[in-house]
Amino acid sequence: MKAAVLLSLVAAAAAGGCKNWGYPTTTIAGIEVVDTQIVRDALSLIKNSGLKDYVVKHQIRSWLFGAQQLNNNATLKSIVDPQAQAITILLHDLGWDQTPDSPWTTMDLRFEVDSANGMRNFVRSHPDGKQISERKLQQMWDAIALQGAYGLASQKEPLVWGSINGIANDYRGPGVFGINETIYNQIVAEFPADDLLTGTNETFKWFCETKPETTYDTWVEGWGTYFVDGYDATGHRQVDQFRTVF
Ligand SMILES: *[C@@H]1O[C@H](CO)[C@@H](O)[C@H](O)[C@H]1NC(C)=O
Ligand SMILES: *[C@@H]1O[C@H](CO)[C@@H](O)[C@H](O)[C@H]1NC(C)=O
Ligand SMILES: *[C@@H]1O[C@H](CO)[C@@H](O)[C@H](O)[C@H]1NC(C)=O
């Protein structure tokens, strides 16, 4: 009898569809999120870094959007590990650090690679990082590296697009990926997004000024072309090999 009751409880939980990942959770801005040591440490890493406030808030909001996307959809939550998603989103812009002695920003790699490498180093050197398989860590790396290439990312593993969708919500606002206006407003009330576009704009111009070789033929190139004096991608693009006259 007891076994039957237990079984029916298990069945009810399964019908709810939510794979029990077994992580402790907490609530931030009204959103239920994973609350493990490695996620806490990812959060304090960005809060105590040289990253500007707008980047830190962008990464936190994106995490909350991503978490809520999973909370809204039990099927999605069963296939996207919410802890891996949290770490991926929280650290996806480490390469936006403009401080001269940044541990993440290099002069020769594009920012997505700097960020992905920074996230991977964080996980590998964390005492709990061993919980995350190399296969999963590769997907986390890919999600960060492909954050600006949704046409590629959307065809990859759920953890990849399931992480980028959280970030996308921060730029696209409510009405996409199941985030309604109530939830959106709840999150931006705690972590205001008014500096997101100007902050992103300034950062992308900085890449084009400071490490232009990493921007040619990427989605960042347009910021240089439109907004940075003296920036000229001509001669640096794939297509230039196919032109006879420069
Ligand atoms: C929930 O997520 C699954 C997996 O991505 C998707 O197939 C399904 O359409 C989603 N359901 C809703 C209601 O959005
Ligand atoms: C907004 O989404 C939340 C969580 O998904 C849901 O609980 C709430 O009912 C929705 N509100 C409206 C007005 O649709
Ligand atoms: C981005 O920077 C350019 C050049 O400084 C400026 O004209 C444009 O208004 C900025 N856009 C935003 C959204 O800040």
* Ligand 2 contacts CB of residue 72 (under 6 A): yes
> How many angstroms separate the most distant Cα atoms in the chain?
83
Instruction: Give the model's pLDDT for residue 211.
Output: 98
Instruction: Give the model's pLDDT for residue 19.
Output: 52
pLDDT in tens, 62-95: 999 999 999 999 999 999 999 999 999 999 999 9
pLDDT in tens, 124-144: 999 999 999 999 999 999 999
- DSSP collapsed to 3 states, 129-149: HHHCCHHHHHHHHHHHHCCCC
Instruction: Give the model's pLDDT for residue 148.
Output: 97
Question: How is the chain split into domains, by residue range?
Answer: 3-193, 195-246
With a Cβ cut-off of 6 Å, ligand 3 is lined by: 197-198, 201, 227
* Nearest Cα residue to 95 out of 77, 113, 81: 113
* Ligand 2 contacts CB of residue 182 (under 6 A): yes
Q: What does the chain come to in residues? A: 246
pLDDT in tens, 2-22: 444 444 444 434 434 345 799
Q: 120 alpha carbon to ligand 1 midpoint, in Å?
A: 29
Nearest atom of ligand 2 to the alpha carbon of 178: 5
Cα 6 to chain center, whole Å?
38
Q: Whose CA is nearest to atom 5 of ligand 2?
A: 72
Q: What is the mean pLDDT of the chain?
A: 93
Mean pLDDT on 177-196: 98
